[in-house]
Chains A and B, each alone.
Chain A
């Protein structure tokens, strides 16, 4: 049954790609491109939710092999709970900001290939959430980054052009390091398939042979690349300067999603490969790479959380406050990673998805605030609660979700992470996390009191009458409202969401299920017969009951066709 579902997962890449290509010839006509774009995001969202629920019920990981080449030789596309949660949220965020863009995008931006670019961005993002191959991850990062470079400079204003080079150059440099690291990983382990790498690392640890020389250095290189994309502590300097220059719906999408792709890459690869837990291997005390990397991540988390929020408190423009806040919030996710227990990773994943939704809706609120005041400088804002009560309510809910007041979504993410940190000897990080939460409240209240409670300044531009702004940005309100409702669902429905996140965390810390889902039995037997015996013991049906073939693996097309007719 799951065999038929397996091939559906490639639709997450095909739908945005097809929609993007379709909207290229329609570039001058906004209505058809909007319909295509909305349908594309809505369909990937519904598909992700369906597959997530189905996969949770069946307790399976969906795997699709491109061109029927089995792992580890072909590219495999893997849909587990982590991918599912992130795909659903990314599509929802894209849908929200896309609907918002109807009312806020200038026409020259729409004509500048906005629709195809945003679809291709989502194509890259979805592929990087799905792929089970490190080099394919690099390729999908490049697809995503090319689209993001173009979206960042769309319209080509002076302000954008003078800041864009930082983002482009740094990401090019990171991509180069990624290529080198991927090559080194291949040289060290002889494979680039993530499941296969995990299996080999596990075997090397279990056999007492130990990890290859320079494995920690390799892990640090990967960490450097992903940390730069995810804006971890020493590598976040590019973010505040770039996110505030582009059109607001794009800024919302970037602020919500792009850094999370970097965090996702760490969440995917590190527990699986580099910092694999050795708790179930009796002969090994501790994975030496794990200890080193977790310390680096813990220190990065402390600085990311605290310096990020200090930066946000010091700013006085809404867009820059929100941009720098992204960094501070990434810090919580990194904190969850530094603990790296299953429950902490569940907290980290939950925090990621809630942050994508909430941060994007805050950026989108900022877009309508700018429409009212003509600027995002807090001194020029004021009286918005009276002028636009609906916006005030939406902003308040989103801001308090970000801060993490109890019934709202941010609370559940932070609570789990901080509690797990406290129980696992990282009490100093938990204290920093709590302090950061207080400062987050301060900076959000700053926007709230300046923008919404302060008396209205005398010099609001005449053109922006409240009624005009409201009537011209209906789709903006719809976009924000959708995301805020989703954020409320994440808060009040945290229990079911945490079931998925918990399963995802379990799948991450004990990669056996992932290895078993992706790799064919023959490969596991070849590399690690004991593990194969353990994994397939008691399952004894169809493929597993075949006799153990003594002939060595034939690694060619014929072999693959035999396994997957």
Chain B
């Protein structure tokens, strides 16, 4: 799964960087949108493997514990499971966290998507207005526009 994600991220990054290297504002905008998607996908990979070594959470320096459990009861079950496991390492205890994927990165992605959507709307409006005012969307021509004239005084 992580490999598939990695390939997706790499391809999306590649395409978006190619688009951003163009000299046309519309293509630049598409590149920026795509790179946002690539970023979101790469965060998704952070939650990829379910929960790391939670059984050692309070013994070693490994800290990644997902911050959410479903209910109060489940939280108690989990802590009891930890205690049983610590006392009898040979016993097979069902642990809810073995099946869960860390949900926090998905929450981060959701926030980033919403923000990205708003920014996308703004950027498209900006491009429409730029086309109306400057009559061009070519970056080279825009760059030449309105640069201050060098002074003749010296």
Per-residue CB contact flags for chain A residues 172-187 toward chain B (1 = under 8 Å, else 0) read: 1101110110111011
B148 A317 Cβ-Cβ under 8 A: yes
B residues contacting the other copy or chain, number (CB 8 A): 59
B145 at the interface (CB under 8 A from A): yes
B11: Cβ under 8 A from any A Cβ: no
Interchain CB contact under 8 A, A172 and B119: yes
Chain A residue nearest to B67 in the complex (CB):
A73
Chain A interface size, under 10 / 10 to 19 / 20 to 34 / 35 or more: 35 or more
Contact B126–A183 (Cβ < 8 Å)? no
Among A139, A180, A200, the residue within 8 A (CB) of B42 is A180
Residue B88, interface by CB 8 Å: no
Do the beta carbons of A316 and B150 come within 8 Å of each other? yes
**For the complex, what is the distance from the CA of A159 to the CA of B129, rounded to whole Å?**
12
Interface residues of A in 503-560 (CB under 8 A from B): 526-527, 551-559
A544 CB to nearest B CB, Å: 19
Cβ of A461 < 8 Å from any Cβ of B? no
Q: Are B145 and A554 in contact (CB under 8 A)?
A: no
Within 8 A of B (CB), among A146-200: 146, 149-150, 153, 156-159, 161-165, 168-169, 172-173, 175-177, 179-180, 182-184, 186-187, 189-191, 200
Report the nearest B residue to A164, measured CB to CB.
Answer: B126
Q: How far is the CA of A377 from the CA of B149 in the complex (A)?
A: 10
Which residues of chain B are within 8 angstroms of A554 by Cβ–Cβ distance?
Answer: 69, 75-76, 78-79
Interface residues of B in 130-154 (CB under 8 A from A): 130, 133-134, 139, 142, 145-146, 148, 150-154
Majority DSSP secondary structure for residues of B touching A: helix
Residues of B within 8 A of A191 (CB): 63
Least distance between B88 CB and chain A CB atoms (Å): 16
Given contacts A163-B146, A183-B46, A552-B79, contact A176 B39 (CB under 8 A): yes
B75-A186 in contact (CB<8A): no
Q: Which residue of A lies closest to B55 (CB)?
A: A552
Distance between Cα atoms of A320 and B149 in the complex (Å): 12
* Distance between Cα atoms of A279 and B139 in the complex (Å): 50
Query: Are A162 and B75 CB-contacts (below 8 A) given A169-B28, A186-B104, A378-B151?
Result: no
**Closest A residue by C-beta to B148:** A317
Tell me the residues in window 376-401 of chain A with beta carbons closer than 8 Å to chain B beta carbons.
377-379
B87: CB under 8 A from chain A?
Answer: no
Q: Are B32 and A172 in contact (CB under 8 A)?
A: yes
From B39, B66, B82, give the contact of A179 (CB < 8 A).
B39
Residue in chain B with minimal CB distance to A245: B146
Contact among B111, B122, B142 with A149 in the assembled complex (CB-CB below 8 Å): B122
Check A58 for interface membership: any CB of B closer than 8 A: no
CA distance A203 to B63 in the complex (A): 11
Q: Closest A residue to B143 by CB, please name it.
A: A162
> Is the CB of A472 closer than 8 A to any CB of chain B?
no
Q: CB distance B153 to A316 under 8 Å?
A: yes
Indicate whether B5 reaches chain A with its CB closer than 8 angstroms. no
What is the distance, in angstroms, from B10's C-beta to the closest C-beta of chain A? 13
30 contacts between A and B (CB under 8 A): A139-B115, A142-B115, A146-B119, A156-B129, A157-B133, A159-B145, A162-B134, A163-B146, A165-B127, A165-B130, A165-B142, A168-B122, A172-B36, A172-B119, A176-B32, A176-B35, A176-B36, A183-B105, A186-B104, A187-B45, A189-B64, A316-B153, A317-B148, A379-B152, A552-B79, A552-B82, A555-B68, A556-B68, A558-B75, A559-B75
